[in-house]
């Protein structure tokens, strides 16, 4: 069973659909017992960081996730907003504290080339800065993934970055630190490369 | 490098895939083609005109389609309130496309953006040529039947302020014409916003995609006429674009 954390934001249907397609049972829930029973967790989400943390808090999920992920080392994959929530804080709508599992702030994407549009929407190359990470098994360096975001995580100083993407400057596009995984892009919407990455997480992480 | 997108737009009437040049419904196109073709994104629009019509047939089609869709899926048609948005998202949409609902009540854009994030809101704008308005175009709503007095550039900029994440601009006159995108229209809109702009209506050959990107400033080129789109033709369109120097996902 794969616990997909439901905190009222985002494309849970898409993530659950991809998990099911790969032969695993998704359980979309915010219930502590069901999340505890899951083999692995996925923290999806699209939308604003402040809302994301507020919704997690309102459902009592911050304590639950800290217990499951930090204390009991259950694997978790953050996707898009879920990835950003892994960080220390975000400057979106004032300063908001994140889950803090990855030691990096989330700040607005500011491409050096002013003609580049924000949000960054579409297919872009993922450069594997740590190709040995299990998420990248069978995925070639530079494979294309689907991104949609206006904020980005700054480079974590602790070496947890595993991949970058370039959009008027390189930014951290994927991280892994122990049992904590995260991708700024949407593997569930990135066709074959995305499904491979998701399968790697589900089978090997 | 970010790739320019090639988007396929599918229109449905009462839950049936609706094509303007081939009248028999044929679902072969909608089964599994997303994985085998190199399309970058799908837009599904309910164009059923009866406002009282049962939407469940469309939701059912979206639900079934979304299960096998591993590229972004935008859904729309007749979205007027947050219940409609929730239903579309629950069916498996990643984004919603709003048009007349936003013209009627512009703050609707903000409501969706606040609930789901601005990347979830595609503001679709249908424009006709106009002799009266600055720029030479006017926005029409309600299946392009109702004039709004707005200019496409002005409405797009307002939409960005209100919280839209992408703009889809459609030329009513070019719909089904195969004569190419209305480039000045696309340019006006893409110059008016910093958001990605999706161009729609008129693509008849691969050169039109290149023009849309290079001259129209489009981030994505859309096509509705799937009759011409076989497995090899999307790939061939993209190869053509790449040869012309446009970054695409092959």
pLDDT, tens digit, 9 for 90 and up, residues B126-146: 999 999 999 999 999 998 999
Sheet strands (E) in A111-178? 120-125, 127-128, 144-149, 151-153, 161-166, 170-177
Give the separation between CA A32 and CA A54, rounded to whole angstroms: 17
Confidence band for B23, pLDDT divided at 50, 70 and 90:
very low
What's the domain count of chain A?
Answer: 1
Residue B228 — pLDDT band, cuts 50, 70, 90? low
Q: What is the pLDDT averaged over residues A69-95?
A: 92
Query: Residue B194 is nearest to which of A17, A118, A144, comparing CB atoms?
Result: A118
Q: What CA–CA distance (Å, rounded) separates A149 from A83?
A: 11
Q: How far is A95 from chain B (nearest CA, A)?
A: 18
Instruction: Rounding to the nearest 10 degrees, give the CA dihedral for residues A183, A184, A186, A190.
Output: -90
The verdict on B121 touching A (C-beta cutoff 8 Å) is: no
Give the pLDDT confidence score for residue B226 in this predicted structure.
Answer: 54
Determine contact, residues B117/A47, Cβ cutoff 8 Å. Answer: yes
pLDDT for the residue B225: 65
Q: Which long-range contacts (CB under 8 A, 24 or more apart) does A20-26 make?
A: A20/B67, A21/A195, A21/B67, A21/B68, A21/B70, A22/A195, A22/A198, A22/A199, A22/A202, A24/A202, A25/A1, A26/A1, A26/A2
Closest alpha carbon within chain B to A165:
B1
Å between A10 CA and nearest CA of chain B: 6
- Is pLDDT above 60 for A131? yes
**pLDDT number for residue B248:** 94
Could A123 and B166 be called an inter-chain contact, meaning their C-beta atoms sit closer than 8 Å? no
Tokens matching residue B23: 């009248």
- Short-list B240, B228, B220, CA closest to B40: B220
Asked whether residue B21 carries a pLDDT value surpassing 50, the answer given is no
Percent of chain B with pLDDT strictly greater than 70: 88
CB contacts of A192 in chain B (<8 Å) are 35, 70
What is the C-alpha to C-alpha distance for residues B35 and A18, in angstroms, rounded to an integer?
A: 13
Is A149 in the active site? Answer: no
Confidence band (pLDDT; 50, 70, 90) for B24? very low
A120 is catalytic: no
Instruction: For residue B127, give Cα distances in angstroms to A32, B34, B130, B186, B199.
Output: 50, 29, 9, 10, 12
User: CATH no. for residue A174?
Assistant: 3.40.50.880
Q: What is the pLDDT of residue B237?
A: 86
Searching chain B, which residue's CA lies closest to the CA of residue A193?
Answer: B70
Q: Note whether B249 contacts A144, CB cutoff 8 Å.
A: yes
Q: What is the pLDDT of residue A85?
A: 96
Whether B30 shows a pLDDT value over 60: the answer reads no
Tell me the average pLDDT across B26-45.
68
| Band (B36; pLDDT cuts 50, 70, 90) | low
Q: Which residue segments constitute the domains of chain B, with CATH numbers given?
A: 5-242 (3.20.20.70)
B165 CB near a chain A CB, below 8 Å?
Answer: yes
Phi-psi region of B41 (alpha: psi -120 to 50; beta: other; left: phi over 0): beta
Q: What is the pLDDT of residue A148?
A: 93
A161 strand-pairing partners: A175
> How much is the average pLDDT of A22-48?
94
Q: Report how far residue B125's alpha carbon sits from residue A187's, in angstroms, rounded to the nearest whole number.
A: 30
Tell which B residues from 181 to 210 touch A, by Cβ distance under 8 Å: 194-196
Peptide bond into A46 cis (omega under 30): no
- CB count within 10 Å of CB B24 equals 7
Closest CA to A26 of A7, A39, A45, A11: A39
Nearest chain A alpha carbon to B2: A124
Per-residue confidence band for B20, with pLDDT thresholds at 50, 70 and 90:
very low
State how far the Cα of A34 lies from the Cα of B190, in Å rounded to an integer.
Answer: 47
Q: What is the mean pLDDT of chain B?
A: 87
Q: How far apart are CA B149 and CA A9, in angstroms?
A: 35
Chain A residues in contact with B196 by the CB 8 A cut-off are 117, 119, 121-122
Does residue A10 carry a pLDDT above 90? no
| Mean pLDDT score, A80-109 | 91
pLDDT at B227 over 70: no
pLDDT at residue B124 above 80? yes
A161 is catalytic: no
B27-36, B117-126, B128-137, B140-149, range with the lowest pLDDT? B27-36
* Backbone φ, ψ for residue A175 (5° rounding): -135, 160
Percent of chain A surpassing pLDDT 90: 85
Q: What is the average per-residue pLDDT within A104-110?
A: 93
User: Do B70 and A195 count as a contact with CB atoms less than 8 A apart?
Assistant: yes
What is the predicted pLDDT for the residue at B230?
A: 58
The answer to whether B8 faces chain A, any CB pair under 8 Å, is: no
Judged by CB atoms closer than 8 Å, whether chains meet at B196 and A194 is answered as no
Domain that holds residue A148: 2-204
Q: Which of B67, B155, B39 is nearest to B104 (CA)?
A: B155
Report the residue from A46, A123, A166 with minimal CB separation from B3. Answer: A123
CB contact under 8 A, A149 and B119: yes
Averaged pLDDT for residues B188-202 = 95
Nearest CA-CA distance, residue A189 and chain B, Å: 4
The token duo for B123 is 């503001």
When pLDDT is cut at 50, 70 and 90, the band that residue B90 belongs to is confident
| Of residues B175 and B247, more confidently modeled | B247
State yes or no: pLDDT of A174 exceeds 60.
Answer: yes
Chain B positions in Cβ-Cβ contact with residue A17 (cut-off 8 Å): 66-67, 92
Q: Please report the pLDDT score of residue B35 as a whole number.
A: 53
Residue A55 confidence class, pLDDT cut points 50, 70, 90: very high
Is residue B34's pLDDT more than 70? no
- Structure tokens of B175? 């719909």
Q: Nearest by CB to A189, which of B68, B71, B166?
A: B71
* pLDDT attached to residue B76: 95
Among candidate residues A92, A120, A149, A186, the one labeled active-site is A186
Helix (H) or strand (E) holding B184, with range, is: helix B183-192
Which one is catalytic: A80, A92, A133, A161? Answer: A80
- A163-174: average pLDDT: 97
Neighbours of B114 (CB within 10 A): 13
Least confident of A27-41, A139-153, B27-41: B27-41
- Assess whether pLDDT exceeds 50 at residue A82: yes
Between B23 and A15, whose confidence is greater?
Answer: A15
Select from B70, B117, B194 the Cβ nearest to the Cβ of A18: B70
Distance of CA A114 to the CA centre of its chain: 27
* Residue predicted with more confidence, B18 or B152: B152
């Amino acid at each position: 069973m794969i616990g997909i954390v439901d905190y009222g934001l985002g494309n849970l249907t898409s993530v659950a659909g991809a998990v099911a397609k790969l032969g695993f049972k998704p359980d979309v829930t915010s219930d502590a017992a069901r999340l505890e029973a899951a083999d692995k967790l996925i923290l999806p989400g699209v939308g604003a960081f402040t809302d994301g943390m507020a919704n997690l808090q309102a459902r009592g999920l911050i304590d639950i996730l800290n217990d499951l992920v930090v204390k009991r080392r259950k694997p978790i994959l953050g996707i898009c907003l879920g990835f950003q929530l892994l960080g220390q804080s975000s400057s979106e709508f004032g300063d908001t504290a994140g889950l803090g599992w990855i030691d990096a702030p989330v700040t607005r994407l500011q491409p050096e080339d002013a003609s580049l549009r924000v949000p960054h929407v579409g297919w872009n190359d993922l450069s594997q800065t740590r190709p040995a990470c299990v998420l990248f098994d069978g995925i070639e360096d530079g494979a294309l993934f689907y991104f949609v975001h206006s904020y980005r995580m700054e480079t974590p100083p602790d070496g947890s970055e595993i991949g970058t993407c370039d959009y008027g400057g390189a930014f951290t596009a994927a991280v892994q630190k122990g049992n904590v995984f995260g991708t700024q892009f949407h593997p569930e919407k990135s066709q074959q490369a995305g499904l491979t990455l998701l399968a790697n997480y589900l089978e090997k992480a | 490098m970010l790739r320019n997108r090639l988007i396929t737009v599918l229109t449905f009437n009462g839950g049936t895939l609706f094509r303007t040049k081939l009248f028999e419904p044929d679902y072969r196109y909608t089964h599994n083609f997303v994985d085998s073709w190199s399309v970058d994104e799908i837009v599904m629009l309910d164009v059923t005109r009866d406002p009282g019509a049962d939407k469940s047939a469309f939701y059912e089609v979206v639900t079934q389609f979304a299960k096998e869709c591993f590229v972004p899926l935008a859904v729309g048609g007749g979205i007027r309130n947050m219940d409609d948005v929730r239903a579309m998202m629950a069916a498996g949409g990643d984004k919603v496309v709003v048009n007349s609902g936003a013209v009627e009540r512009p703050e609707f854009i903000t409501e969706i953006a606040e609930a789901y994030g601005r990347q979830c809101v595609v503001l679709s704008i249908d424009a006709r040529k106009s002799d009266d308005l600055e720029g030479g175009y006017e926005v029409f709503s309600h299946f392009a039947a109702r004039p709004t007095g707005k200019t496409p550039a002005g409405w797009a900029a307002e939409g960005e302020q209100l919280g839209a994440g992408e703009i889809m601009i459609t030329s009513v006159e070019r719909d089904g014409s195969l004569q190419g995108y209305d480039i000045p229209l696309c340019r006006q809109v893409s110059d008016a916003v910093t958001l990605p702009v999706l161009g729609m209506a008129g693509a008849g050959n691969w050169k039109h995609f290149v023009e849309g990107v290079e001259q129209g400033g489009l981030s994505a080129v859309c096509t509705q006429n799937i009759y011409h789109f076989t497995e090899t033709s999307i790939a061939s369109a993209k190869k053509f674009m790449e040869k012309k120097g446009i970054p695409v996902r092959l």
